[in-house]
Chains A and B, each alone.
Chain A
């Protein structure tokens, strides 16, 4: 578990760094609430969706979810993270967001089915577009680095990358370098250049 010493600022920084991540187990995209659940459970470097975490713990999804939400409600930093996730997903502040309560007030039948795709975000207007084709691995990120270097801080590069490793690689590269993966819809990715 994350300790009480963690501040809201720390938590939101971690949530932001994990934007665009996928579940380490099932590879589904993680929305803000599922990422928060993963952080609450201590999975910062290998985030997992709530469904996979429940399965790993051999708990029914609903029971696991409700226990984690109970933890969230008792700590200021987690509550801040929950509000952050509401905003990121463009949903009204809610104790029961659809990504964790896919059937509304009724509980999900199966934990795995509860992993909703992230709510549709506003697609950022890119400042440049690069079709990387089948380029992958080191070639892809080296060229990507060069292209972002030529852009101004805060500008967004829309990248189309069809390499089969790109859905894993580009989020990892962004976490490593500090550039923000604003949106990910493989094979298209929107990356905002960091400040320096």
Chain B
């Protein structure tokens, strides 16, 4: 893959529009053969739990779960902010496919390699 691309997402059910568009853009990046990362933080970390996104569907877009599944199947990575995850008492055993819990240094390393980033 040529180059990296990062999408940061800090919303989940509190702004399903942003959550959906973030994964639409991430899918565009991964389809463009970028090494693509979605970094989930703040409320966005809830999307890392199996079942959470299942009933989220924005008008005019594919269901969020489908967008997330397609992203991971295409090789996209989902990184989950560790302190945000812990604060919400989420379950490590219930992560969606492709999700990894990381701390800030991991994100810093990815972005420092020259990745552009778009924030939702």
Interface residues of chain A, those whose CB is within 8 Å of chain B, are 24, 27, 45-46, 56, 134, 136-141, 163-166, 168-170, 172-173, 175-176
Pair B108/A176 contact, Cβ less than 8 Å = yes
- Residues on the A chain within 8 Å of B82, using CB: 136-137, 163-166, 169
Q: 13 new A-B pairs (CB below 8 Å) besides A137-B83, A164-B86?
A: A45-B35, A45-B113, A138-B104, A141-B103, A164-B92, A164-B101, A165-B81, A165-B82, A165-B101, A168-B103, A169-B102, A172-B102, A172-B109
Of the residues A27, A45, A134, A141, contact of B104 by C-beta under 8 Å: A141
Interface residues of chain B, those whose CB is within 8 Å of chain A, are 4, 35, 75, 77, 79, 81-83, 85-86, 92, 100-106, 108-109, 112-113
B78 to chain A, nearest CB (A): 12
**Measured between alpha carbons, how far is A141 from B102 in the docked complex, in Å?**
12
- Residues on the B chain within 8 Å of A166, using CB: 82, 103
**Measured between alpha carbons, how far is A173 from B105 in the docked complex, in Å?**
5
Query: Chain A: interface secondary structure?
Result: helix
Given contacts A24-B77, A45-B113, A46-B35, contact A168 B85 (CB under 8 A): no
- Residues on the B chain within 8 Å of A24, using CB: 77
**Measured between alpha carbons, how far is A46 from B106 in the docked complex, in Å?**
11
Chain B, residue nearest A141 (CB): B105
Given contacts A24-B77, A137-B82, contact A165 B113 (CB under 8 A): no
**Measured between alpha carbons, how far is A101 from B25 in the docked complex, in Å?**
41
**Measured between alpha carbons, how far is A136 from B101 in the docked complex, in Å?**
11
Pair B102/A168 contact, Cβ less than 8 Å = yes
- Residues on the B chain within 8 Å of A172, using CB: 102, 105-106, 108-109
A-B contact pairs, 15 of them (CB 8 A): A45-B35, A56-B75, A136-B86, A137-B83, A137-B104, A139-B83, A141-B104, A165-B81, A165-B101, A165-B103, A165-B106, A168-B106, A169-B102, A173-B105, A176-B108
Pair B35/A136 contact, Cβ less than 8 Å = no
A154 to chain B, nearest CB (A): 22
Pair B103/A163 contact, Cβ less than 8 Å = yes
Pair B83/A136 contact, Cβ less than 8 Å = yes
**Measured between alpha carbons, how far is A169 from B82 in the docked complex, in Å?**
10
- Residues on the B chain within 8 Å of A175, using CB: 109
Pair A165/B102 contact, Cβ less than 8 Å = yes
